[in-house]
Amino acid sequence: MSRKTTNGTDGVEIGLYSIGKVHDRGVTDVQTSAQSDPAREVVDICRRLIQFDTSNYGDDPRSQERDAAEYVAGLMSDVGLDPELVESAPGRTSVFARVDGEDSNESALLLHGHLDVVPANADDWTHPPFAAEVHEDNGVPMVWGRGAIDMKDMDAMILSVVRDRVRSRRRPRRPLVISFLADEEAGGLFGSHWLVEHRPDLFEGVGVAIGEVGGFSFTVDDHLRLYLIEAAEKGISWMQLTADGRAGHGSMVNHENAVTRLAEAVARIGSHEFPVTMTATVEHFLVEVRSALGLPDDTPAEAVVARLGPIAPMIGATLRHSAAPTMLEAGYKTNVIPGSATAVIDGRFLPGRRDEFLATIDGLLGPDITRSTLVDDIALEVPFEGPVVDAMVRSLLEHDPQARAVPYTLSGGTDAKAFATLGIPGYGFAPLRLPPALAFADLFHGVDERVPVDALEFGARVLDRFLDLA
């Protein structure tokens, strides 16, 4: 239960002691406090983290983060931090630690990563998904494996940076709460949502949070790289539709067929074109990107997005609500008309527009269809301004003079939604300078997930600088 913070005063001995311990754990580089390098361990830690198979199968005993959590806690205690392991259920383990800042009057910065990953089917992969091998891709050395960008990359950056700072006695400007969470990929019921409900004390004093999915680059040309920082997230509305009708023999004419009613409603929803709708973050994004690409100010949103190549699908989904039918269930015999039929819809709504979204859905349902909620989670939007944003922009620019930071909306959801319920605003900032041709958006939950070695090192250095400034 302890939540003791370290004062970093026993740095040298602990630093030297840590060498042996860390070596045992597979991190091969040796560092002394005289040679500060926040990127030194990032690749080794990322690879070791990927080797823990933390596949999340939802509420299933195979879903386990404990081994990875114990490894992470070991990396922190080795340098003198006092991590706490928190379990919401057996094996569903998160890790927390606090780090003192230069300015103890400042609110704390929460750095959060998740330890779980989505499952991977090894047969589909070029290199085994949990081996974390390093191979070249178009001449660029990359770490291959599930979690390489979602998000053991950022976990490793946080650990490499924080270990280096503690050992070299370089305090961050403001206090840190660093956390590595269970169960993000299944909605955080055993992770972030459980923690904010049962252990709000872990977040005491936190004023702002940094996590996934942002800070990655999109190359415009040799002189300009956009770095997309997440400042908003769409909300989640997963719903079940139920059609009721009159059961009967399949040979009879039946105008109250539940399957027909459901199919019509699903078709109306699935083919509905939600209109392009501006939110503050999308507006800001479009202004920046039009300017960066030299497009006229009146270039329509979809035409701007179409210019974004590999990330166009990811950004396109943030221009409007969406509602995708994903599951259907009805019937048990060819010649029996069932009395009811159900469908599941994956709905995503824009910040501030949940009621409008649901009203549209209800208008599309038609008679004899009822809607029930499976999952409902908030949308987020924070201003892209202020000292924390300035710190992100500056730390990027110092490490990439061609950088231009732009805010964007994430079409999915992250643990930031849970922290927002405690009033903690959050940004997605896991900095990666990526090769122009890498189809980054496809790597999330995709086959052959991989991260460039030098992008990991870049990210650690940017994050380290950010902690000086934020």
One-letter amino acid at 89 equals A
Identity of the residue, 147 or 325, whose beta carbon is nearer to Zn ion in the bound complex: 147
The closest alpha carbon to 194, from 415, 425, 427, 426, belongs to 415
Taking CB positions, which residue lies at the least distance from Zn ion? 150
Residues that bind Zn ion (CB under 5 A): 150-151, 212
The rounded distance, in Å, linking the Cα atoms of 385 and 283 is: 14
The rounded distance, in Å, linking the Cα atoms of 468 and 248 is: 71
Identity of the residue, 151 or 314, whose beta carbon is nearer to Zn ion in the bound complex: 151
Q: How far is the CB of 201 from Zn ion (least distance, A)?
A: 25
The closest alpha carbon to 169, from 355, 36, 63, belongs to 36
Identity of the residue, 152 or 165, whose beta carbon is nearer to Zn ion in the bound complex: 152
Task: Pinpoint the alpha helices (H) of 35-121.
Answer: 42-51, 66-78
Secondary structure of residue 314 in the 3-state scheme? helix
Q: How far is the CB of 212 from Zn ion (least distance, A)?
A: 5
Q: How far is the CB of 322 from Zn ion (least distance, A)?
A: 19
Identity of the residue, 212 or 449, whose beta carbon is nearer to Zn ion in the bound complex: 212
Identity of the residue, 76 or 410, whose beta carbon is nearer to Zn ion in the bound complex: 410
Q: How far is the CB of 171 from Zn ion (least distance, A)?
A: 28
Angle at the Cα of 195 (from 191 to 196), degrees rounded to 5? Answer: 125
Q: How far is the CB of 252 from Zn ion (least distance, A)?
A: 51
Q: How far is the CB of 213 from Zn ion (least distance, A)?
A: 6
For 82, the enclosing helix (H) or strand (E) is none
Task: Pinpoint the alpha helices (H) of 175-300.
Answer: 192-198, 258-270, 280-293
Give the Cβ contact number of residue 299 at 10 Å.
15
Tokens coding 206:
């936190």
Identity of the residue, 167 or 234, whose beta carbon is nearer to Zn ion in the bound complex: 234
